[in-house]
Amino acid sequence: MDIKKLIYKSPALSGDYPDFKAETAPDDPFETFYEWFEHAVETGVVEPSAFMFSTVDGEGAPSSRIVNLRDMEADGFIIGSNAESRKGQDMQKNKNVAMTFYWREVGRQIRITGHAEAAPEELNRNDFIRRNPASKALSLTAKQSFELGSMEELEREMREAARQVKENPEAFKTWTLYKVIPSEMEFFQARKDLVHTRLKYERVDDGWKKMLLWP
């Protein structure tokens, strides 16, 4: 097995990338994020709202998974999760989290670090009500990341959860919205000549400090 040969059969950083003038980027990183996200959508990036979400448990062990961005506010990014899942339990013990967006088609990466805060119960209930029936049923099982005995067990639990949803559409239980409030945000624009552009925003007392980084 020679994985190195397979790696080099798929060259990295070979796309047609947009220009990014870091010097004229907004002073607010949320504005830059919105501009980049809008560009990703308009240029046909596949699943631009999907990102790597990393948490840390009470003993300092990291864990990562792909989730979807649900919304953005003036001070943070909104995601949803079962509070009893591994990431939910991690955030109860350690609020430090990281988000990584990677849009291969345009050679762009966004790295965000900060802390997560759970939304009030009423917001969680309202968000749950807006979800589709299958998503509601899955969240009602409240067993995400736990060991599963068989697919038959999963199907049985899902049928029971679907019944509960039909009887009570507001039975949200452990569904929780979290807001990730960044302390740092970095925007990476790839270039074919490898002279990549990296713009970092760092939270300071009176707003944000903006700086270029070496590639």
Binding-site residue ranges for FMN? 86-87, 109, 144-145, 198
Binding residues: 86-87, 109, 144-145, 198
Residue 71 pairs with which residues in a beta bridge?
Answer: 78
Mode of pairing for the β-strands spanning 62-68 and 50-56: antiparallel
CB 119 within 8 A of CB 176: yes
* Long-range contacts of 203-208, Cβ-Cβ distance < 8 Å, separation of 24 or more: 207/27, 207/28, 208/27, 208/28, 208/29
Residue pair 89/59 in contact by the 8 Å Cβ criterion = no
Residue with tokens 């990281």: 98
Characterise 38 by phi-psi region: left (phi > 0), alpha (psi -120 to 50), beta (else): alpha
The per-residue b/e assignment along 91-123, b for 16 or more CB within 10 angstroms, e otherwise, is beebbebbbbbebeebbbbbbbbbbbebbeeee
CA 125 to each of CA 88, 118, 131: distance values in angstroms, whole numbers, following the listed order: 17, 13, 10
